[in-house]
Structure 1
Amino acid sequence: MFFSTLTKVRLRRAALMLLLATLSGCSTITLEPLPAGLTDQPPASWTDTVRQRQNLDHWKLTGKLAVKQPSDSGSALINQWVQHNEDYDLTLSSAFLGMGRTRLKGSPDFIELTLADGERYQSSEPDELVLAATGWRLPLNQLTWWVRGLTAPDGDYRLLFNSTGELVAIRQSGWHIQYDRWYSASPELPALPARITATKGEKRVRMAITDWQPLKP
């Protein structure tokens, strides 16, 4: 009986030490060193900036898109990208890919893709359907947030700012989103991204935005 009780005590102590070690390990997050001249401390105006960009949930933009990845690379015109809350209507055209004018219409959990010949495909996996049709792996759901200079709702993130308090980069879900230039559409709107480069491993997505327009709900 004594041996049995002593064994239980030792087992409980071992379990407790393992739990404490695990908790200690979880409480320490290793962050990469900050690049020179950048900080992860947001400016005092950051909360207001985020609120303004979140309020811009009905918008349209035009520009260019370029994708580079091991399997396939190319570029396309963004004829228009119309966003209403979580619903998007994106039209691309690319002679390089031979896909002509392609329309992507959907939401985070559904997409309808229409090719230049009128053939339509639907899927509950937007990224996978785009990959199958174009050869490009685009993080569509996250891009609808990153393109406004916001973090996506899912996934941990880290923000990087320069000495003037301007957002330089977002690191989220393994992606590094760099903001190279900003667009001032009007005094009533916050500054919006004009050139974005998103990289993850050997994948790179670049967007150059030529026009931003707010839309009425």
Structure 2
Amino acid sequence: MRFLAIATLALTLLSGCTSIQLAPLPEGMTDQPPADWVRRSQALTSFDHWLLQGKLAVKQPSDSGTAVINRWQQQQEHYDLSLSSSFLGLGTTRLQGVPGFIELTLANGDSYRSSEPEQLVKAATGWSLPVDNLAWWIRGLPAPDGNFRLLFDQNRQLAILEQNGWEIRYDRWQTFVDELPALPARITALKENKRVRVVITEWQREN
């Protein structure tokens, strides 16, 4: 069943590449996937148990701030994300959940639950974060739900992913895990006047 799910997603990745129209294409970009895209996307889709560390920066009109990603553990759809930031209150803020549900624990111990993850994060921190999609975008994959557009650079590397009103730019790729393709090392996500930047310093596979 898992193989069939991965194969289905791979076909979706190819068929969905033209679901959002951009005209003209940015200079030096193509919307034609490279020959190894299906193999690569299958490998990254299967990479669904992992642990990473890094930094997060949010810039928006109302407020901006940075945070250290102490620990982001992903086990299939379940995420457990621990952030430290003076903006969030000199301590650790923890986000746990699955798509469509989140539990957020602030540094002072207050805990909140919601079926609207993005709305809860915004209410608690003031930040607009595409929580449900990040686990996909962080690997260089479109989320399963919603139209998307992929653009590749002259090196046939994914450069831009557009989905759900966000433009995700892949600024740097790096080999973190043996037997896997290169993974994003720096990502910039843009939506209207909002910007979210993620820098990954360590990424490893979990069993």
Post-superposition Cα deviations, 1:184-211, rounded to whole Å, max 9, x if no partner, equal 0133111110000000100110000001
**1:172 CA displacement:** 1.0
Q: Distance in 2 between matches of 1:99 and 1:88?
A: 22
Match of 2:49 in 1: 58
| SS of match in other structure, 2:159 | strand
**1:162 CA displacement:** 1.2
**1:148 and 2:139 matched:** yes
CA contact (8 A) 2:21 2:149 kept: no
TM superposition outliers: structure 1 runs of 4+ over 6 Å: none
Match of 2:177 in 1: 186
Aligned-pair Cα RMSD in Å: 1.2
Match of 2:24 in 1: 33
CA spacing shift, 1:213–1:182, aligned 2, 3 Å: same
Matches within 5 A, 1:91-106: 91-98=82-89, 100-106=91-97
Task: Provide the aligned length of Structure 1 versus Structure 2.
Answer: 188
Post-superposition Cα deviations, 1:79-126, rounded to whole Å, max 9, x if no partner, equal 011001111000000013425210001111211111112221111111
Matches within 5 A, 1:164-203: 164-203=155-194
AA partner of residue 193 (structure 1)? P
AA partner of residue 124 (structure 1)? S
Question: What's the % identity of the aligned pairs?
Answer: 61
Q: Distance in 2 between matches of 1:30 and 1:107?
A: 30
Structure index of larger Rg: 1
CA spacing shift, 1:77–1:204, aligned 2, 3 Å: same
Q: Distance in 2 between matches of 1:30 and 1:127?
A: 26
CA spacing shift, 1:192–1:58, aligned 2, 3 Å: same
**1:71 and 2:62 matched:** yes
TM-score by length of 2: 0.87
Deviates more, 1:29-38 or 1:112-121: 29-38
Return 5+ residue gaps in structure 1 as ranges.
Answer: 1-28
**1:214 and 2:205 matched:** yes
Q: Distance in 1 between matches of 2:187 and 2:63?
A: 20
TM-score by length of 1: 0.83
| SS of match in other structure, 2:135 | helix
Post-superposition Cα deviations, 1:21-53, rounded to whole Å, max 9, x if no partner, equal xxxxxxxx8532111111010110000000000
CA spacing shift, 1:129–1:99, aligned 2, 3 Å: farther
CA spacing shift, 1:201–1:122, aligned 2, 3 Å: same
Which one has more relative contact order, counting CA pairs under 8 Å at least 6 apart? 2
CA contact (8 A) 1:103 1:115 kept: yes
